[in-house]
């Protein structure tokens, strides 16, 4: 089981932010046997068989109950092999894409990770199972509020949610060892490149919202950025 991490007093945020914190030591509600079985099948058939090999990523995908992050009417479809709407024109990504982006980012137990596009909080929860700390930015306030409450309820004390413009990143918490962008951008946001740590990796869908985009892996080495195209994807646009 994941060891829960807590922020110290220095992590208290201004009122403009939405902290996700521990109060006591609550136990997560146990998922139903059927949901657990579907989750195990999802990881085996949709993720492991498609080439995801990182053991920490596979463990995180087996641990996080995706049915907690979809709308109530979609809970029966939570482990299907496709994205689902979560309201406000946004979606929760296909499970394989969540696993792939996490594996590409290579977070570890000491990593500080930035996510752009919190959505329902699923990707943040997967990252939190692996990384030391996760900072996630969502521009749609109701989604940010709901994700913060959901992650708090599920005892993810190493995640902090902020409502704001993800294009600008989160400068005061930088540099980040990994940055994941879960919305398509027609250009690579320069503030995110500046906030990426030396040796850090950024995963971002690149391209116009109305077209097929390219998932990119960017790495910073000696102050220079290398770029690798991974595969074609379709994401909602990065909203300013």
| Alpha helix (H) residue ranges in 92-207 | 95-105, 122-128, 141-153, 190-195
SS3 state at 238: coil
SS3 state at 164: coil
Q: What DSSP assignment string belongs to 170-184?
A: -GGG--EEEEEE-SB
- Residues contacting 117, CB < 8 A, separation 6+: 90, 123, 136, 137, 138, 166, 181, 182, 183, 238
Number of neighbouring beta carbons within 10 Å of residue 227: 12
- Give CA–CA dist 183/90, Å, rounded: 9
Active site residues: 93
**Cα dihedral sign, 79-73-119-204:** positive
Q: What DSSP assignment string belongs to 20-79?
A: ----S-PPPPPPPHHHHHHHHHHIIIIIGGGT---HHHHHHHHHS-GGGGS-GGGGGGTT
Residue with tokens 């910073």: 220
- Give CA–CA dist 240/147, Å, rounded: 19
- Give CA–CA dist 211/4, Å, rounded: 40
């Amino acid at each position: 089981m994941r060891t829960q991490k807590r922020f110290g007093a220095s992590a208290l945020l201004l009122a403009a932010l939405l902290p996700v914190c521990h109060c006591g030591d609550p136990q997560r509600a146990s998922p139903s046997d059927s949901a657990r079985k579907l989750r195990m099948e999802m990881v085996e058939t949709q993720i492991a068989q498609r080439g995801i090999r990182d053991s920490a990523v596979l463990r995180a995908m087996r641990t996080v109950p995706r049915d907690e992050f979809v709308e109530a009417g979609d809970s029966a479809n939570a482990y299907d092999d496709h994205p689902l709407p979560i309201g406000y024109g946004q979606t929760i990504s296909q499970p394989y894409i969540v696993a792939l982006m996490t594996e590409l980012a290579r977070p570890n137990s000491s990593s500080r990770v930035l996510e752009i596009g919190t959505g329902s909080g699923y990707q943040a929860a997967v990252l939190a199972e692996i990384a030391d700390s996760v900072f996630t930015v969502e521009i749609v306030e109701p989604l940010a509020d709901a994700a913060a409450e959901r992650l708090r309820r599920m005892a993810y004390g190493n995640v902090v949610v902020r409502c704001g413009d993800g294009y600008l990143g989160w400068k005061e918490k930088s540099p980040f060892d990994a940055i994941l962008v879960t919305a398509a951008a027609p250009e690579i946001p320069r503030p995110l490149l500046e906030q990426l740590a030396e040796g850090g990796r950024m995963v971002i869908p690149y391209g116009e919202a109305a077209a097929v985009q390219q998932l990119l892996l960017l790495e910073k080495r000696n102050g220079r950025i290398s770029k690798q195209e991974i595969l074609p994807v379709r994401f909602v646009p990065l909203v300013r």
